[in-house]
Amino acid sequence: MPNLQDFQMASSAKWKRIQSWGRVPLLWILVTPILTLPLSALLLFTLGGEHRAEALDLPAGELCRFEGHIAQTCFFYFEVWRTWLLLALPGLFNLVVIFWLFHSNGYVRVAAGIALTLGLVRSLVVPFAAIGISHFSLITDGGMYFQVELVATGISNDISSPSEERAIRQLLTAAWIGGAVAWAATIVVWQLYEPLMARYWRNLHPPGGPRAEALARWHGFFGQR
């Protein structure tokens, strides 16, 4: 026969599952990078082509010779708004949380609103800002372009110039680093959502009915999760 302690443990586990359903919108934007990262790479490699320096009347690169070696600096130019669009488009997956805004439960709707805000910031702002604060130059001569500077070294007459694909990888790396920071912030929000709601918004309950009593002290909720 199950004892009282087993029943309490089962009830506690069930309650945690119910609470987690209330945070499903936040959970959704935590897993969307599985889709958005490869799609952003695919779009940028296929549609984010470089603009030739000659056509833009901008410097294509420079050579430096020293002690029988040669260093070649090449400049690659990528249109700012096209790059932003191609990196933002995969973020449409984050907009799925809009459907939870029409949920009958207010607790879930609040989670959906927070998730939507985080998803929009991660899709529209973070990749662009991450590239903007990286080592890339912003060229505004005849348009707006990110200038990616790559250097190749070797022996004179035997050097391979950096490729456009390598320049695109530099852009993607910067965008993904910014996305990783935003994703970590999303984890924090996901973990804090239920404790904050339990403490400050007691009139909204997770799916399944009223929650347990709010934790008496702020520092105690981490240990009880």
Which residues have CB under 8 Å from 87's CB, separation 6+?
A: 40, 43, 44, 127, 128, 175
Q: Which residue has the higher pLDDT, 222 or 7?
A: 222
| Model pLDDT for residues 77-99, shown as the tens digit of each residue | 888 999 999 999 999 999 999 99
Q: Does residue 189 have a pLDDT over 70?
A: yes
Region 38-42 average pLDDT: 95
What is the C-alpha to C-alpha distance for residues 109 and 8, in angstroms, rounded to an integer? 29
What is the C-alpha to C-alpha distance for residues 207 and 109, in angstroms, rounded to an integer? 11
Region 177-203 average pLDDT: 90
Q: Does residue 9 have a pLDDT over 90?
A: no
Q: Tell me the pTM.
A: 0.75
| Model pLDDT for residues 98-123, shown as the tens digit of each residue | 999 998 888 889 999 999 999 999 99
Range 63-97 burial, b when 16+ CB lie within 10 A, else e: eeeeeeebebbbbbbbbbebbbebbbebbebbebb
Q: How many CB atoms lie within 10 A of CB 184?
A: 9
**pLDDT grade, residue 62 (50/70/90)?**
low
Which of 20, 127, 144 has its CA nearest to residue 79? 144
| Amino acid making up residue 28 | W
pLDDT on residue 45: 92
Q: How many CB atoms lie within 10 A of CB 48?
A: 21
What is the C-alpha to C-alpha distance for residues 22 and 16, in angstroms, rounded to an integer? 10
Q: Does residue 28 have a pLDDT over 60?
A: yes
| Model pLDDT for residues 113-166, shown as the tens digit of each residue | 999 999 999 999 999 999 989 888 888 877 888 888 877 665 555 566 677 888
Domain ranges of the chain: 15-220
